[in-house]
Amino acid sequence: MDFTSFIHIFITLISIMNPLGVIPIFLAITADQSAHQKRSSIKRTVTAVILILLISAYGGNYLLSFFGIDIDSFRIAGGILLLLMSVHMLQAKTPTVKTNENEQSEAVEKEDIAVVPLAIPLLAGPGSISTVILFSSSMPTLIDKLALGIIIAVSGLLILPTLLLSKPIGKRLGSTGLNIATRIMGLILASISVKFILEGVLHFLKGNI
């Protein structure tokens, strides 16, 4: 795979995780935490996100094989899932496949919110997991798979400064700015999801003609 393909993967992951869109939720569920507690939560969140996505990328295909799911069917299902997410993002809403209002309310009362709900399902949710599995399945060489791991790590590490600076970013952009960023990410994600669906359908048809 060439450099352009890896840039495409990076942009896709950032669009799906949408760390800017997580800022309002993060500020709400960490309102009662001290600065030290927030930093600790953010570090654990980043670590969890990277580990979850790496395990999914390198072990997801084995799981699909265990359940007898072919990659074309999974590509179509993953594309539909991302399309549903993108529709919510275009409306500047948190996708319900990530979290809903009840789960967000419960998160406010939890002492440790680093892994659940911040890491999963808000950042490393079903969309992110299915996407890294799909990208991993299209990489035949070990070097490509290692490069995917690096992209996952870099994408996860970008969450760190975003959440550490969540308060000034939130104040500077405001609700309107954050909503605009979410809509842009949603538009990118909609295009990617359609591509996944079309690729899955075309490969399925080729294999059955």
Q: For 139-182, what is each residue's pLDDT tens digit? A: 989 999 999 999 999 999 999 999 999 999 999 999 899 999 99
CA–CA dist 197, 66 (Å, integer): 23
Q: Is 24 left (phi over 0), alpha (psi -120 to 50) or beta?
A: alpha
What's the whole-number mean pLDDT along residues 132-142?
92
pLDDT by residue (tens digit) across 35-47? Answer: 999 999 999 999 9
CA 154 to chain centre: 13
pLDDT of residue 140: 84
Q: How confident is the model at residue 110 (pLDDT cuts 50, 70, 90)?
A: low
Query: Distances from the Cα of 197 to the Cαs of 21, 84, 121, 183, in angstroms?
Result: 25, 12, 23, 21
What pTM was estimated for this model as a whole? 0.88
CA–CA dist 137, 120 (Å, integer): 22
pLDDT by residue (tens digit) across 51-100? Answer: 999 999 999 999 999 999 988 899 999 999 999 999 989 988 877 666 66
**Quick check: 132 pLDDT over 90?**
yes
Sequence letter at residue 92? A
CA–CA dist 72, 44 (Å, integer): 34
pLDDT of residue 116: 85
pLDDT of residue 112: 72
pLDDT of residue 136: 94
Closest by Cα among 122, 91, 113, 112 to 22: 122
Sequence letter at residue 93? K
DSSP 121: I
Asked whether the beta carbons of 83 and 190 are under 8 A apart, the reply is: yes
